[in-house]
Amino acid sequence: MKSKKNKLTDKVLVLNTSREFLGTKPLYKAIKDVVTNQVIVLESTDRLIKGGINKHGVQTEMAAPTVICEREYVNVKYDHLFKISYSPENVKLRDRYTCQYCHNKFKEDELNIDHVHPKCEGGKLTWTNSVATCFSCNTIKGSQSLKECGFSLRKMPIKPSGFSEYLRLKVKTIPESWEQYLY
């Protein structure tokens, strides 16, 4: 049976020596770190990645890593590491591509960003004043306040912070092999 190939751009979870989350990197970069002995492989799939020919004339192969750990402690400021910058794309991701007024799911390009507190009344484009809306809800709401248009928000928009939100926004789907390392 032919196994499905790992894409070299697949994300690999990178942990510090303390097992704290450091980030993710594409598989091809993780393989380079493994080959140069900078990291330890904690989890891998049973899919083999073919490498070059070694001095014995044999083609090398390696199980594709999914979780790796640094060999030397990396000094990082964790607050800085989990910073998620404000952007319309990240607001749509935070809101899981769901219109915050009619609660239907849409594609990214079928959503706008609405100023909850209207722009004309001084509402700013910030995490806490921006929500994803579909075009029709956006048109109905226009420059009215929530009270004026009778819309309500299921939950108040928040500024995403911390590690789990960071991962959800950056990675979207968390591979099963990562779960025991995320806490």
**Residue of 30, 111, 134, 167 interacting with Zn ion (CB under 5 A):** 134
105, 133 Cβ separation under 8 angstroms? no
47, 5 Cβ separation under 8 angstroms? yes
Give the residue with the Cβ less far from Zn ion, 22 or 137.
Answer: 137
Q: How far is the CB of 111 from Zn ion (least distance, A)?
A: 9
Give the residue with the Cβ less far from Zn ion, 144 or 177.
Answer: 144
Give the residue with the Cβ less far from Zn ion, 43 or 95.
Answer: 95
Please count the other Cβ atoms lying within 10 Å of the Cβ belonging to residue 149.
15
Scan residues 12-71 and list those touching Zn ion (CB under 5 A): none
Give the residue with the Cβ less far from Zn ion, 102 or 182.
Answer: 102
**Locate tokens 């049973």: which residue?**
46
Scan residues 135-154 and list those touching Zn ion (CB under 5 A): 137
Q: How far is the CB of 133 from Zn ion (least distance, A)?
A: 6
Scan residues 83-122 and list those touching Zn ion (CB under 5 A): 99, 101-102
Q: How far is the CB of 99 from Zn ion (least distance, A)?
A: 3
Residues found near Zn ion in the complex (CB under 5 A): 99, 101-102, 134, 137
